[in-house]
Chains A and B, each alone.
Chain A
Amino acid sequence: MASWGRPENSRLIGKRVQRLSGADKATGKAKYTFDINRPGLLYGHILRSSVAHATITHIDLSAAEALPGVKAAIPLIEPGKRVRFEGQEIAAVAATTDDIARDALRLIQVDYDELDYVVDMEDAKEAGAPQIRDDWEGNQSEPRVDERGDLEAGFAEAAVEVEATYHAPVQTHVCLETHGNVAEWDGDNLTVWASTQAVFGTRQNLARHFELPENQVRVITEHMGGGFGSKFGPGVEGVTVAKLARITGAPVKLMLTRKDEHLVGGNRPSMTQTVRAGAAQDGRFVAYDMSGYGTGGIGSGAGFTGPYVYHVPNYRTEKSAVAINAGSARAMRAPGHPQGAFAMDSLMDELAEKLNIDPLEFRRINGDSDARRDRIRQAEYTLGAQEIGWHRRNRVPGSGTGVKKRGIGVGCGLWGGGGGPGTEARVTIHASGAVEATTGTQDIGTGIRTVIAMIVAEELGLRPQDITVKVGDTAPGLPSRGSGGSQTIGSVAPVIKTAAMAAKRKLFAHIAPMVEADPGNLRAVGGRIRTESDLRMSISWKEATGYLGMETISEGGEWDENLRVGDTAGVQFADVEVDTETGLVKVIKIVAVQDCGLVVNRLTTESQINGAVIMGLGYALLEERIMDDQTGKMINANLEDYKVPGTMEIPEIVSIAYDTDRKITGIGEPPTIPTAGAIANAVYNAIGVRIRELPITPDKVLNALG
């Protein structure tokens, strides 16, 4: 059976290895989709609805078509159909320069028959609000009810109760590389360079759309500038660019503008939940009654977690989605979890305070609903509390003196991320000594390329830089899943590992007779092949592979579920300073203790945790899509008014990769979950007034302080 072995015996696994593509990225050589230039390239842009809700009565493309340099102009919606949000696609153009394409959009005449719209969730729920979805009655989905235990008995047992409403805003992904593609046809063969998290998913979608066999569509993603869940299929823009390329007979690049990206590139749905909860005198969390909803724009889903992490025997939850005239939600880094965690961790602190129990102690008492995770979580509490200096927190919230008040809080999260079957990979050894590892996953910035090289190099006794890793291309026909759900490493690493083992076995079998050794006695270490028993037999890797002559070894691998694990637990602590005169919250320090399973690359793991924490910090303090009631438009669809964290906002981050298991797991998402709850609780601990609505901006702090 394959195993990763003891970490102390590993040369590479668990060590700090620089990103293989790092030099290309740092020198500007790396080509992202946005950077692809093809001979005769045309530039595409999409005209989008300027209103929130209307019936399109007429589209006139003639002036755009007549503009010199314009090669194609196509409608994307038929007259008579409705647009349901600002930004919905209406028409597209391809032109010889980007500027001409933008000019052409301005020449397209669109007649709108405007309809009433609604961009506020509460208004959308009202009877008589404009109907947004044809498949719903009203704008609220049928609630989903979950029940467990006996809620009434739970409340009867409760010594204290809390009733509160928590709210989290819509957050947008803000990938620094916008969505987009370059499409090029050669006869009936389509090649698409895509900024995607799923080359194979995109291929399948395009093949279906153009009614082509899959092998006539090739999707390439060598480097991509962030996805965070928003970049799976080709999207309207991907299908459109392929159409434009087909019509013009030329390669076309169509990248969304930053404004487009905010409007249609996806978002995390909002959440409003009202909860009544109770805890018994001995600190047991006994009852949880929650009803809530969120908006995914015109989309149907707006789910969030709850109850979350902590064990509560009696609960009832009722969750629904509310449609508004805004761009559709998409999966966003740990979908549903950060909003649920923020509410849950706020609630836990409120209950603990009523019971007069330390909030950390209250969490310890109520454990994790899963026994394995609970063991890990309890250890994480101890580690994190020590690192943040939990004893420094205000016993009485808000009791600090001075204008700037400090506070400390805690938050939690959990995630799956174990990966699954469906990846094919090959490890190829050439007579020259060159080694390739090929699979159809994609490196969305997480560093899977480097991880693949490390695993193969560990197995073959080579250095990571000796391995050529080929990912992000459907052409080799080795499918893998989309990079979502933190599933990439758990899906890919086991297959790569077993493929490398198989290739090594083949090589040993081939050379054993030449070196008069038993193949079972051969070892690959330090760039050499030698026997375990007789240290005199030692030949270089190249000498060994030289014996292959005209042959090449190329072996596939199997997904082995014993090589990976899911279900991780994370705990974060925040130390904040609140300026009671300006209302500004400054995060001083975050301690992130994250169950990371077996860490493969410690360097990139830490970096991923940091990034996730910062996205959580943005969620807690800065980010919010703001829809304007007066116009139905998003009024901060840029990077000036939609605030993402920058260097000035960044606290000291201590990330503790807690290795709990000798198996691999993905951690792209989990560390973004606990941050907002930890920060909100720290703010409360600092000022003694609870803010139940994210983002915690200075105006809310000042209002709360009165």
Chain B
Amino acid sequence: MPKKVHVQTTINGEAVEYLCEPRQSLLEVLRDVLHLTGAKEGCNNGNCGACSVILDGRLVNSCLVLGAELEGKSLETIEGLAEPEQLHPIQDAFLENAALQCGICTPGFIMAAKALLDQNPNPTEHEIRYWLAGNLCRCTGYDKIVRAVQDAAQTTS
């Protein structure tokens, strides 16, 4: 078996070290090694966005990134978004708008929305839709998701 890789990185503001196999995806590392299961596996090949995380400020599909690539980088996952007693405004907006049903796509949508609002605090509806086009949801019909992001933009800007 190939030697494991030692990785030192920052996840949700905290220093984290782990060992992973060279070929393990970041999604697998998060879910199976670090037991951070908020990022979901919907397809494992970059087509559904359920595994969305923010890597050094950029939105990525964690199933398309290697765990070893995290060395020296900074990662934001859904687990780091809320304060202990306070949901993030995007999370609040998702709840208020009923922008989730089964909820398995929700962490991915919320991370994607966060990445958008971080760089564009006042997106138009079209910009929101365009940005979220890589995230699939089979339950909600998206409309309420888009509205939730619009509402969150209002509260955060």
On A, residues with C-beta under 8 Å from B are: 16, 18-19, 21-23, 25-32, 34-35, 37, 68-69, 97-99, 173-177, 223-226, 228, 255, 257-258, 444-447, 603-604, 606-615, 638-640, 644-648, 650, 652-653
Contact = CB atoms under 8 A, between A and B. Distances in A.
Given A28-B78, A611-B139, A446 B104 contact: no
Contacts of A28: 36-39, 77-79, 107
Given A37-B37, A176-B50, A653 B143 contact: yes
Given A173-B138, A174-B138, 17 more contacts: A18-B96, A19-B100, A27-B87, A30-B103, A32-B37, A37-B35, A68-B1, A177-B102, A228-B138, A607-B98, A607-B99, A607-B101, A608-B101, A639-B136, A647-B128, A650-B142, A650-B143
- State the main secondary structure of chain A at its contact with B: loop
B151 interface: no
A225 B40 contact: yes
B130 A34 contact: no
Nearest to A17: B98
Contacts of B24: 99
A646 B141 CA distance: 8
B146 to A, nearest CB: 6
Contacts of B103: 21-22, 25-26, 30, 223, 225, 445
Contacts of A68: 1
B45 interface: yes
Given A28-B37, A32-B104, A447-B101, A639 B47 contact: yes
Nearest to A69: B1
B16 interface: no
15 contacts: A18-B98, A21-B103, A22-B95, A27-B107, A28-B78, A30-B103, A35-B40, A97-B21, A445-B101, A606-B98, A639-B42, A639-B43, A639-B48, A647-B142, A650-B129
Contacts of B39: 28
Interface string B4-45: 000000000000000001011000100110011111111111
A647 B145 contact: yes
A483 B57 CA distance: 41
A19 B37 contact: no
B70 interface: no
B131 to A, nearest CB: 8
- State the main secondary structure of chain B at its contact with A: loop
Contacts of B129: 647-648, 650
B107 to A, nearest CB: 5
A610 B110 contact: no
Interface in B86-131: 87, 91, 94-96, 98-107, 110, 128-130
Given A99-B21, A175-B138, A610-B143, A23 B95 contact: yes
Contacts, number: 187
B125 to A, nearest CB: 10
Nearest to A652: B143
B104 A176 contact: yes
Contacts of A255: 41
A255 to B, nearest CB: 8
B137 A23 contact: no
A255 B27 CA distance: 15
Given A27-B38, A258-B44, A607-B144, A644 B136 contact: yes
Contacts of A174: 138
A23 B87 contact: yes
B142 A226 contact: no
Interface in B43-96: 43-45, 47-48, 50, 77-79, 81-82, 87, 91, 94-96
Contacts of A173: 138
A689 to B, nearest CB: 29
Contacts of B32: 37, 97-98
A255 B143 CA distance: 30
A35 B51 CA distance: 13
A644 B100 contact: no
Nearest to A642: B47
B135 interface: yes
Contacts of B77: 28
B108 to A, nearest CB: 9
